[in-house]
Structure 1
Amino acid sequence: MQKILIPTDFSENAWNAINYAMQLFRNKKCTFYLLNTYTPVIPSSRFMAKMIDGVSIVDAVRNSSEQGLLKTVERIKSKYGNIGHTFETISSFNLLVEEVKDIVDAYDINLVITGTKGSSGIDEVFMGSNTVRIIKNSKKCPVLAIPQHFDFVTPTEIAFATDFNRFYTTSELKPLLELAEMFQATIRIVHVQYGIKALSELQQFNLNMLRRYLNNAEHYVHTVSELNSVSQTLEMFTEELDIHLLALLNYQHSYMEKMTREPIVKRTAFHTQIPLLVIPELGMEGVSKNIEEQENAITG
């Protein structure tokens, strides 16, 4: 994880995510790409002002974006002064989600870190609409969502929620394993079931392979019964075991997909009180690796 993208709107929520990132990677050499997107209203009527003090509205918003990014970098360097960290700023006239996708591709980004306000009422969307859209559209890069008021805690307890219905690839597990190695963390594999029952043969095989991948990390398996929703169950689990970070794989029919589809009233129970690492499913290139790994696992 050496190239890290952090979108910012210059809010305290975004600054909190930056703080978390600086402390999480304090002992790693990294390049941080700070992104601010802007979409100023383009005047379409002669009654709307096109200029402010002789400066076009678009230019004014662009200048504000660029200056905000420079001030943010200065603030980071003033507080942390980490010689192993370098910074690039990107100011873009674009929609946030589209720009994030473009930057991930263009700069070969390893991780996106974003702040999230979480759910504060029935009308709020799970984790904040921008965060959810970034997660749903991130097909190549993990996303780490940092709650608005979360103070950094060294992640020595990491939960990995999964249902064992799918084979895991080393590429997908790499972000989880890297974090565990960085902080000598314990990984708690949590399986949420609607009614406790024995694993199927496929699930047991996938669990065995997962444990083989995690062989060098201290890990435990926890099976818990689903409460009102997957999100609420995971919230209770993370609270009871004092988990510092929750990791999920995001693929069709996964917990992550289910959580973003749960009715809003149920979703509000999950306030993302701890950082959430969402790892995307591999694309077609990953599928061939997936099959090859599975064949090697069976024959080996």
Structure 2
Amino acid sequence: MQKILIPTDFSENAWNAIDYAMQLFRNKRCTFYLLNTYTPVIPSSRFMAKMVDGVRIVDAVRETSERGLQKTVARIKSKYGNPNHTFETISSFNLLMEEVKDIVETLGIHLVVTGTKGASGVDEVFMGSNTVRIIKSTKKCPILAIPYNFEYVTPSEIAFATDFNRFYTTSELSPLLEMAKMFKATIRIVHVQYGIKALSELQQFNLNMLRRYLGDVEHYIHTVSELNSVSHTLEMFSKELDIHLLALLNYQHSYMEKMTREPIIKRTAFHTQIPLLVIPELGMEGISVEEEQEEEQKMESHH
């Protein structure tokens, strides 16, 4: 049973992410947790005497939040009515980022699905600041960011962008493998190079391990030279090969980190393109020695 968290502010952008998730997981048994956070404007201190009103403001905002969530669930059920799916609503007086982090930890969420705001010409924001905040603060769970106005396509072409400088653990790659297996997708491993040069021994080793992990999942390796920025390069690659989903690991010096730091001028319209699966860095923590030995035995028995 997958537990999936979807934050919503009741905008069309958020509905689009819900829509995508319902179609993506239509054949999977899931519990969806729909979350709406609110932080009412409390009158400033010189009005503190009217605290009664303050309480009433909070109540009114909470009711709006709860009603909005009920309406959203009703809308989903009338559109999809999928017996595989159950819904829980969470209305919380909290900051979105804090609440997402808490829920992921307390409920053991497997995936967070969020909409990303399409930027309006002037403020080229990479994926919308809320999404970036969630990605930066949610360390235990993959995040699937759905661009505003992206129409659902079954992801049969998945790109995984990496520079092979880091060793991946099976637990880190499992969200990618699950997606690929669920949709019998092809994985295209993309290595963005700044000037084409041979892989170092370490990179070659990590690539070989990655290929072993991918096992019988159909995969190809593409080396592309950087076009003025990582985000622009990945965007062009995704367009040319008609990629439906781009997966990235989020760790220090990763492409994901580079992209959130790239100067605005270099970040063209990357965030408006395709869904992004951001996988957190789990590293070796959370993996017991037994599991590692099992992994090694599995690897050996494959050879």
Task: Give TM class, smaller chain.
Answer: over 0.9
Q: Does the C-alpha gap of structure 1 residues 252 and 36 become closer, same or farther in structure 2, counting only changes over 3 Å?
A: same
Q: Give the direction of change, closer, same or farther, for the CA distance of 1:128–1:294 in structure 2 (3 Å limit).
A: farther
The aligned runs of 1:98-137 (5 Å cut-off) are 98-137=98-137
Secondary structure of 2:210 counterpart: helix
- Once the two structures are overlaid, the 10-residue window that deviates more, 132-141 or 122-131, is 122-131
CA distance in 1, matches of 2:124, 2:65: 27
Q: Is the 8 A contact 2:36 2:91 kept in 1?
A: yes
Q: Which residue of 2 aligns with 1:10?
A: 10
Which residue of structure 2 aligns with residue 166 of structure 1? 166
1:254 equivalent in structure 2 = 254
Correspondence list, 1:43-122, <5 A:
43-46=43-46, 56-122=56-122
Letter aligned with residue 42 of structure 2: I
- Which residue of 2 is the match for residue 41 of structure 1? 41
**1:269 Cα deviation from its structure 2 partner:** 3.5
TM-score normalised to the size of structure 1? 0.93
Count of aligned residue pairs for this structure pair: 298
Matches of 2:42 and 2:25, distance apart in 1: 40
Q: Deviations over 1:220-240 (max 9, x none)?
A: 000000011000000000000
CA distance in 2, matches of 1:18, 1:71: 13
Q: Match of 2:279?
A: 279
Aligned to 2:180: 180
- Residue identity matched to 1:114: T
Q: In 2, are the aligned partners of 1:118 and 1:126 still within 8 Å (CA)?
A: no
* Letter of the structure 1 residue corresponding to residue 13 of structure 2: N
The verdict on how the C-alpha distance between 1:110 and 1:166 changes in structure 2, with shifts beyond 3 A counting, is same
**Equivalent-residue separation in structure 2 for 1:138 and 1:45 (angstroms):** 34
1:152 aligns with 2:152: yes
Q: Determine the structure 2 residue equivalent to 1:222.
A: 222
**8 Å CA contact retained: 2:169, 2:284:** no
Q: CA offset at residue 190 of structure 1?
A: 0.3
User: Which amino acid in the other structure matches residue 163 of structure 2?
Assistant: D
Give the distance between the partners of 1:244 and 1:126, measured in 2 at CA. 19
- CA distance in 2 between partners of 1:293 and 1:246 (Å): 31
CA deviation digits over 1:254-286, x for unaligned, max 9? 000000000011123413411000000016624
Q: Give the 3 Å change call, closer, same or farther, for CA 295–4 of structure 1 in structure 2.
A: closer
Give 2:178's aligned amino acid: E
Q: 1:196 to 1:287 in 2, by over 3 A?
A: farther
- Corresponding position: 1:240 with 2:240: yes
Let me know the Cα RMSD of the aligned residues. Answer: 2.3
Deviates more, 1:230-239 or 1:119-128: 119-128
Quote how far apart the aligned CAs of 1:98 are. Answer: 0.4
- Name the counterpart of 2:264: 264
Secondary structure, in 3 states, of the residue corresponding to 1:109?
coil
What is the SS of the residue equivalent to 2:62? Answer: helix
Tell me, in whole angstroms, the C-alpha distance in 1 between the residues paired with 2:294 and 2:41.
52
Alpha-carbon deviation of 1:125?
A: 1.8
> What displacement does 1:119 show?
3.3
With 90-99 and 121-130 compared, the bigger mean Cα shift is at: 121-130
Distance 1:274 1:31 in 2: 25
SS in 1 for 2:285: helix
Q: Name the aligned partner's letter for residue 90 of structure 2.
A: I
The equivalent residue for 2:142 is 142
Unaligned runs of at least 5 residues, structure 1: none
Query: Contact (CA 8 Å) 1:3, 1:33: kept in 2 or not?
Result: yes
Partner of 2:191: 191
Deviations 1:23-63 (A, max 9, x none): 000000000000000000111245597677x9810000000
Q: Distance in 2 between matches of 1:3 and 1:258?
A: 30
Deviations 1:96-143 (Å, cap 9, x if unpaired)?
000000000010000000000143335232000000000111110000
Distance 1:113 1:165, change over 3 A: same
Give the residue type in structure 2 aligned to 1:67.
R
Alpha-carbon deviation of 1:160? Answer: 0.3
CA distance in 1, matches of 2:201, 2:287: 21
Provide the TM-score with structure 2 as the length reference.
0.92
Q: Secondary structure at the match of 2:233?
A: helix
Q: What is the percentage of aligned positions where both structures have the same residue?
A: 82
